[in-house]
Amino acid sequence: MVETARDDPRGRPAAERVQRPQARTTERREAVLKAAMNVFGARGYNKGALVEVAEQAGMTHAGVLHHFGSKEGLLVAMLKYRDGEEVAGVPARAQTEGPAFLQHLVDTVEENTHRRGVVQAYSVLSGESVTDGHPAHDYFQERFHILRAKIAGVLGEVSGSTDEQELIDAASSLIAIMDGLQVQWLLEPEAIDMPRILSRTIDELVDRLRATA
């Protein structure tokens, strides 16, 4: 008994739920989230309009607001959702460790070559996120912080190096290369071979770290 008032009846209900959501609600919300990826990816958060998101999800913009409370709420939910599935094909939550993780990075980049929309959404949003008071600011700040630590750890394992600063620097470089290449690739796809460059860079980086270990 004790009624345990579940304050989280599935997901992150913007309009506070008291009962539980209906059967098909989850998939409807997912449709909205996917539409948001499309729209925010194609036009950016600022220029992306709720009406267009709603249209693609088959409802009105008021319906979208019913689910996510505000445009900002939708963005945040979308960002979290994206994390949950990573890139469809790749195992997502599969938190690979050690050298496998570095291969996982290359695989993901390879996958991304066939998912322009995802890459575009990421590039646009991370760029926008540095503007004053952008709703995705905290998300990207945290994401980079965690990613750097994770990659530095793996690089340490693989190379045997224990120079923390150098490991973090190397991790920062790796992330920077991946992100920077995406923008160049989006603007001139034939000119940039992302997987090749990344995999080369990783090899060099590990070699360098091993040398000073």
Partner DNA sequence: ACACACTTACTGACTTGTAAGTAAGTTCGT
Partner DNA sequence: ACGAACTTACTTACAAGTCAGTAAGTGTGT
Say if CB 50 and CB 40 are below 8 A apart: no
CB distance 119 to 112 below 8 Å: yes
4 near DNA, judged by CB under 7 A: no
Q: Which residues bind its own copies (CB under 8 A)?
A: 42-44, 46-47, 120, 123-132, 137, 140-141, 144-145, 148, 168-169, 172-173, 175-181, 183-184, 186-188, 191-193, 196-197, 200-201, 204, 208
Sign of CA dihedral 69, 74, 80, 85: positive
Which lies closer to DNA via its Cβ, residue 19 or residue 95?
Answer: 19
Closest to DNA by CB, 61 vs 150, is: 61
Identify which of 127, 162, 106 has the alpha carbon closest to the alpha carbon of residue 45.
127
Choose from DNA, its own copies, none: what does 126 bind? Cβ within 5-8 Å by kind. Answer: its own copies
Query: Helix or strand or coil: residue 8?
Result: coil
Of these partners, DNA, its own copies, none, which one is at the site of residue 139 (CB under 5 to 8 Å by kind)? none
Q: Does 47 bind DNA (CB under 7 A)?
A: yes
Report which residue type is found at 167.
L
